[in-house]
Amino acid sequence: MSFERPPVVEVVLSAQFAPETVDMEAYGQFAGEVRRELPVRQRQQVVPSMEEAFDTVPPQRSMEITLEGPTSLPRITFESKDGVQLVQIQHDRLTLNWRRRQHDLSYPRYSTLRKRFNVLLKRLTDALDEVGQAHDVNLCEVTYVNPIEVPGPRAKDRVGTTHPDAARIINRFRRRPRQAFLPEAEDAQLQARWRIPAEEVGGSGAPAGRLHLALVPALKPPEGTPIYLVNLSARVRPESGSVDKALRALDIGHKWVVLGFKDLTTAQMHRHWGLEE
């Protein structure tokens, strides 16, 4: 299934290695190959490694402090001139971001982004092979960011007031009863997780991954129209550390994100986005 007018504004594909896998030599070779297509380069702070045990309940985070080790290289980002494509590399991760910078820019579909990520990952692993560095992928992540505005004549009237009823977007909410004492909620938030079974990657036993849902209120510029950001992120442990298995894990993550998004959203929004079975 797909949507004729998907609400997605950003897609993230990522593959993670063991810490300190990517060294300075691999950095330089990779940078030389992508600089022409992605000329805007910036140095960023290293992001923490993705650590998640899929067979246990994840702990609730209260506060996180990140210290960059003295031997770790920085995170380098390579961006296209129009800002649509962003490639990030650090000592243990390669990430591709697609971002909708113009309102009329069409989403290129997952198959196109997957091919692009495959090329980038192959470039990096080839560079690591040349220096004799092992590069097993231990975790893959797929994230879709969806700013959602409920259609209808009331949308513009909400500027500076309340958010739309989240039950019109996510079918896990219930609509406000007519005789309820409380008025319509000013806004709402929702976080949920689902385990991805081992059978998805051809294994058995412990789960192979987890799908995360986050719904949070936001404001749409420039008028400040109240909307909701619906983010779905799937983390999948590949069957082995090879590039092929990493791409397979990304496929599984994409499947859970897309089918999960359809399963969680209402028929009203499906019609608005043009659901195509």
pLDDT in tens, 28-54: 999 999 988 999 999 999 999 988 888
pLDDT digits (tens, 9 = 90+) for 222-258: 888 899 999 999 999 999 999 999 999 999 999 999 9
Backbone phi and psi for residue 55, each to the nearest 5 degrees, phi listed first: -100, 5
User: Percentage of the chain with pLDDT > 70?
Assistant: 91
Q: Which residues contact 4 (CB under 8 A, 6 or more apart)?
A: 273, 274, 275, 276
Encode pLDDT of 75-104 as tens digits.
Answer: 999 999 999 999 999 999 999 999 998 877
**pLDDT tens for each residue of 142-157:** 999 999 998 865 555 5
pLDDT at 103: 79
CA-CA distance, 173 to 165, in Å (whole number)?
9
Residue 20 Rama label (left phi>0; alpha psi -120 to 50; beta): left
The string of DSSP codes covering 71-121 is: TPPPEEEEE-TTSSEEEEEETTEEEEEEE--STTPPP--HHHHHHHHHHHH
State the distance between the two ends of the chain, measured CA to CA, in whole angstroms.
4
One-letter amino acid of 238: P
Res 153: pLDDT: 59
| Type and span of the H or E element at 142 | strand 139-148
CB atoms within 10 A of CB 262: 16
* DSSP percent split of the chain into helix, strand, coil, nearest 5: 25, 30, 45
Whether 76 and 31 have beta carbons less than 8 Å apart is answered as yes
Q: Helices H, strands E: what count in the chain? A: 4, 11
Residue ranges of domains in the chain: 2-54+70-276
